[in-house]
Structure 1
Amino acid sequence: MTDLVTWAELGGSLAAIGGAAYARHAHPAAYWSTVGLPVSVARLLASYSSTMDACGLTVEPSRWRALAVKATTRREIRPVPPRRGMIRPTSTGLRLRLRLAPGQEPADVAASAERLRHAWGVHAVYVRDVKPGVVELRLVGFDVLRKVRMPRRTASGPLQVPVALREDATAFVRDYRAVPHELVLGATLSGKSMFLRSLIAALAAQSVALVGIDCKRGVELAPFAPRLSGLATDPEQAAELLPVLVKEMEDRYDLIKARQGIAPGTPDEEITSDIWGLPEDERPTPIVLFVDEVAELFLVATRKEEERRDEMVTQLIRLAQLGRAAGIYLEVCGQRFGAELGKGATMLRAQLTGRVCHRVNDEASAKMALGDIAPEAVYAACSIAAELPGLAVVGDTSGGWSRIRTPYLSLAEAAATCRETAHLAPDVPALTPFRPYVPPVPVKEPGPVAAPAPVTE
């Protein structure tokens, strides 16, 4: 009987260990909530002072504190760690604030993030500057990019759409008013199309005109035709659409001038205001232009095509330079982007503030996207595995960068969203000739309620 009890206890322990190991691999969020969170909190509370001392984040106590310790306890005077705030558990990790001691700076804590990660047994530690003298530590308990689950609460507003999850478990919000233009690069099956369709599906519910240039005969953007205000499916149509957008931008500048009393002859470059300063009833509808496979606009084979290419590139650069104030925003996508595309490529890239780089086939594309703003992000972009579609490195001209991953969104779901929101497509008269044709949905005639029974005598 004793042997049976012993074997039962041993079997129960092995089953519990095996179940925990399986949950940690298959259901990391559940494992964190039940096992990882209590263990990490216990480690943090038990080793906080010693860990801070080992990381060099302690300072000598003040003279009054040293005198008080000697007078009351007569123990050895030890260095003081940063004052710790309340620990706040989350579904993906922990958050706590530290009040830095005099002479410390957030960079000191950020430099020890890897040591803190190992000491407290978490997946990653991120440091954010809250206010002078206070930093927030965000501890992530598991790899949140392996299985993306967007946070329930995200920032939202006009032209603000959450499209991906950052590696620190916060949402990556595409804010067109803060970052008006963006460059999105990615090889085939890297997740670039998923990022693009997530953007379109999120913007479809807002009062914004969506315009597309898809030189792959529209195979990427045609499914969203019910919500698009304009679509060009080849370079010839793009050469007709871009001048219309430039003319629309100039008309909006004239509207701003007239409203604010600016002289009609004032150059556009000297106007610092934008359409958001206009009354709501006079404000033009914002326009977001999606350019898929931008390299197709640069490639030429004849002299005539070269002239057309130069015109289109010039118009794109004008839209990138002046479009923000007129409420025209660019989302330029492609598999490859480099200076060898031709004249104007580097100038166009310089106007694209936001950068998103998925897995690419060559290092030159990663350098073109991220090299001028965050050189260390180039290596991170080149190390993206093919088994992780949707994973990308995002950066901006401030020099900051992070990894993100777009949640899965099928083409059918995105197309259904565009069909449901087709009535929200604003009427932009200049874009009417480019409105894509959407065939009407066939309506099935209702059949008889009941099959007629034969009349019998």
Structure 2
Amino acid sequence: MTDIATLLEVGGPVAALGGGAAYARAKHPGIYWSTVGLPMSTARLLSSYGSVMEACGLTVAPSRLRVLAVKATTRREVRPVPPRRGIIRPTMTGLRLRLRLAPGQEPADVAASAERLRHAWGVHAVYVTTIKPGVVELRLVGFDVLRKVRMPRKVAADFLKAPVALREDATPFVRDYRTVPHGLTLGATLSGKSMYLRHLVAGLARQPVALVGIDCKRGVELAPFAPRLSALATDPDQAAELLPAHIREMEDRYDLIKARQGIAPATPDEEVTSDIWGLPEHERPVPLVLLVDEVAELFLVATKKEEERRDEMVTQLIRLAQLGRAAGIYLEVCGQRFGAELGKGATMLRAQLTGRVCHRVNDEASAKMALGDIAPEAVSAACAIAPEQPGLAIAGDTSGGWSRIRTPYLPLADAAKTCHASAHLVPDMPALKPFRPNVPVRLVEPLAPVVKPRPVTD
């Protein structure tokens, strides 16, 4: 009985701790990492750093001065020199540390060994970033952050920037219109494309920008955001009237820029500009973001008359994509498929859309349309997205880089509430007033009195 009691006293808590750790690792990986994974990975890294670097081929022969110093002071063997390690910085999702590369090494050598480092230190993934010449940063991610997305609490919010998703290296994916003016987002039904657009609208709604929507699905996607929209077209006929208004607005802004360029010779150089951002703040027009949902509906035609209308709209979209950035007009084009089969001008328009986000698609050709011309190796990653992971996407740009991202869940009611609360930020743009959506007025029910009145009796 004494042995059984001792076994229960010792084995019971151990089994409880083991079971709790296993449950936390499966259901709450963040808690497991903070309590168990972080200390274990840090201990592995500190105890095996030199041997792991040597096994990965990331060491170099020591200098002659180092060899002479070691031989003069000790009799131990002179070992190869690994990159100098900086301070280990723990995070909520992993670890960060900087390495100063040894002479003759390059960041590509460390990036090529990332998979070996992941297994050696027992983490989910290792990412390498170049900080400056000779210095790289290792970002160790302790668990799969895309399985259950939680955006960082502190995200640097700035003008014309909207955090919309989380990258696989646990950093936020921020849609920056000043850096990437125009974007293309593709995805099949229930792939998370609408959730991406929802986050984008909610992020921009709090900023002093004009939001314009073209939603040819009768407005079912963008109509809930009507209080914050400066204009909304819900079918191709309305879009054919709205796009010329954007062209006129762009031309007016270019006239404003030209007027600033034609100033007196004595004007300082910093006041000469080629876009709206060089104009004085009191003269600068408000930036405008045009959101196009289901762009294929603008291309599909059934009659000769509709074909002429299609050609006009495509030409106007191409002009906005080519010339809109300097005028502060940005495009965000969304659809299920976008390629040459849509008709004349489709590929030309796609070439102007720098930012690319590809959610789950129905065929490989759709993934090639989104990513094949900028990051061919990302096409297979986009085709591997499972239907059980809505919101997961591949984000790339014309630099050739790409990464996996996933958009967190945002209820439509919350996004609509954000747009309703920021309705006062809708700018006054006379050119778009005829297209302003009708916002139904919410009737406020009178509050019932707390104390019921009683009739006065004689």
TM range (shorter): over 0.9
Measured at CA, do residues 26 and 261 of structure 1 come closer, stay the same or move farther in structure 2, by a change above 3 Å? same
Shift of 1:88: 0.5
1:4 aligned residue:
5
2:13 maps to 1:21: no
* SS of residue paired to 1:360: coil
Residue of structure 2 in register with 1:453 after alignment: 454
**For 1:29, what is the secondary structure of its paired residue?**
helix
1:2 Cα deviation after fit: 3.0
Residue of structure 1 in register with 2:296 after alignment: 295
DSSP 3-state at the match of 1:97:
strand
Aligned residues of 1:338 and 1:368 also touching (Cα < 8 A): yes
Judge conservation of contact 1:317–1:348 (CA < 8 Å) in 2.
yes
Aligned ranges for residues 395-414 of structure 1 at < 5 Å? 395-414=396-415
1:175-194 aligned at under 5 Å gives the runs: 175-194=176-195
Show CA shifts across 1:11-43 (max 9, x none): 221221111000001110010000000000000
Displacement of 1:337 after TM fit?
1.2
Match of 2:66 in 1: 65
Alpha-carbon separation, structure 1, partners of 2:273 and 2:338 = 31
The TM-score normalised by the length of structure 1 is: 0.96
Query: SS at 2:332's partner residue?
Result: strand
Say if 1:255 and 1:412 are closer, same or farther in 2 by CA, change over 3 A: same
Aligned position for 2:269:
none
Taking a change above 3 Å as real, the CA distance of residues 64 and 448 of structure 1, as seen in their structure-2 partners, is: closer
- C-alpha distance in 2 between matches for 1:131 and 1:400: 18
Secondary structure at the aligned position of 1:375 is classed as coil
Q: Which amino acid aligns with 1:72?
A: T
Counterpart-to-counterpart distance in 1, 2:237 and 2:279: 35
Partner of 2:380: 379
- Which residue pairs with 1:426 in the alignment? 427
TM-score scaled by length of structure 2 = 0.96
Distance 1:163 1:3 in 2: 56
2:348 is the alignment partner of 1:347 = yes
2:135 is the alignment partner of 1:139:
no
Distance of aligned partners of 1:424 and 1:174 in 2 relative to their CA distance in 1, 3 Å threshold = same
1:257-276 superposed matches below 5 A: 257-261=258-262, 273-276=274-277
- The number of residues matched between the two structures is 450
Distance 1:323 1:168 in 2: 33
Note the C-alpha offset of 1:188.
0.8
CA drift at 1:456? 5.1
Query: What corresponds to 1:266 in structure 2?
Result: none
Q: Distance in 1 between matches of 2:215 and 2:373?
A: 27
Structure 2, unmatched stretches of 5+, are: 265-271
Show the counterpart of 1:167: 168
Structure 1 residue 261: Cα displacement: 1.1
Match of 2:329 in 1: 328
- What's the counterpart of residue 444 of structure 1? 445
Q: What is the CA deviation profile of residues 331-351 of structure 1, one whole-angstrom value per residue up to 9, with x for unaligned ones?
A: 000011121111111111100
In the alignment, structure 1 residue 76 sits paired with structure 2 residue 77 = yes
| Separation in 2, partners of 1:417, 1:306 | 38
User: d(CA) in 1 for partners of 2:369 and 2:246?
Assistant: 27
**SS of 1:281 mapped into structure 2:** coil
Amino acid of the structure 1 residue aligned with 2:243: L
Give a deviation string over 1:254-279, Cα, whole Å, max 9, x none: 1000011189xxxxxxx982100000
Equivalent position amino acid for 1:161 in 2: A
Deviates further, 409-418 or 67-76: 67-76
Equivalent position of 2:55 in the other structure: 54
Asked whether the equivalents of residues 260 and 273 of structure 2 are also in contact (C-alpha less than 8 Å), the reply is no
8 Å Cα contact 1:155/1:173 also seen in 2 = no
In structure 1, distance between residues paired with 2:449 and 2:208: 42
Structure 1, unaligned runs of 5 or more: 264-270
User: What SS does the corresponding residue of 2:143 show, helix, strand or coil?
Assistant: coil
Q: Contact 1:210–1:228 (CA<8 Å) still a contact in 2?
A: yes
**Cα contact 2:318–2:349 (8 A) shared by 1:** yes
Alpha-carbon separation, structure 1, partners of 2:86 and 2:446? 67
Any idea what the Cα deviations from partners look like across 1:135-160, whole Å, max 9, x if unmatched? 00000000111111111222221101
- Partner of 1:359: helix, strand, or coil? coil
- Distance in 2 (CA, whole Å) between partners of 1:299 and 1:281 is 42
Superposition pairs for residues 239-278 of structure 1, below 5 Å? 239-261=240-262, 273-278=274-279
Summarize deviations over 1:98-138 as a string: whole Å, max 9, x none: 00011111010000000000000000000000000000000
What is the deviation of 1:292?
0.1
Q: Distance in 2 between matches of 1:359 and 1:272?
A: 42
- How far apart are the structure 2 equivalents of 1:445 and 1:77? 85
Q: Does 1:216 align with 2:252?
A: no
Find the residue that maps to 1:194 and give its secondary structure. helix
Q: CA RMSD in A?
A: 1.4
Q: Return the letter of the residue paired with 1:317.
A: I
Aligned mates of 1:272, 1:220 — CA distance in 2: 38
SS of 1:337's equivalent? coil
Q: Which residue identity is paired with 1:8?
A: E
Listed one character per residue, the Cα deviations across residues 272-293 of structure 1 (whole Å, up to 9, x for unaligned) are 8210000000000000000000
CA distance in structure 2 between the partners assigned to 1:200 and 1:426 by the alignment = 16
CA distance in 1, matches of 2:133, 2:228: 46
Provide the identity percentage. 80
CA distance in 2, matches of 1:180, 1:437: 29
Q: 2:267 matched to which residue of 1?
A: none
Q: Distance in 2 between matches of 1:448 and 1:21?
A: 55
8 Å Cα contact 2:261-2:273 kept in structure 1? no
Name the CA distance, whole Å, in 1 between partners of 2:430 and 2:135.
52
Q: CA deviation at 1:454?
A: 4.7
Amino acid corresponding to residue 218 of structure 2 in structure 1: R
Instruction: Check 1:104–1:273 CA distance in 2 against 1; reply closer, same or farther (3 A cut).
Output: same
Shift of 1:54: 0.8
The AA in structure 1 aligned to 2:248 is K
- In the other structure, the counterpart of 1:268 is none
What SS class does the counterpart of residue 350 from structure 2 fall into? helix
Deviation at 1:448, TM superposition (A): 4.3
CA–CA distance in 1 between the matches of 2:152 and 2:186? 25
1:114 paired residue number:
115
Letter in 2 for 1:54: A
Q: Match of 1:359, as an amino acid?
A: R
Q: Give the stretch that moved more between structures: 420-429 or 70-79.
A: 70-79
**1-structure distance, mates of 2:69, 2:7:** 55
- What amino acid is the match of 1:240? E
Q: Does residue 1:123 correspond to 2:124, yes or no? A: yes
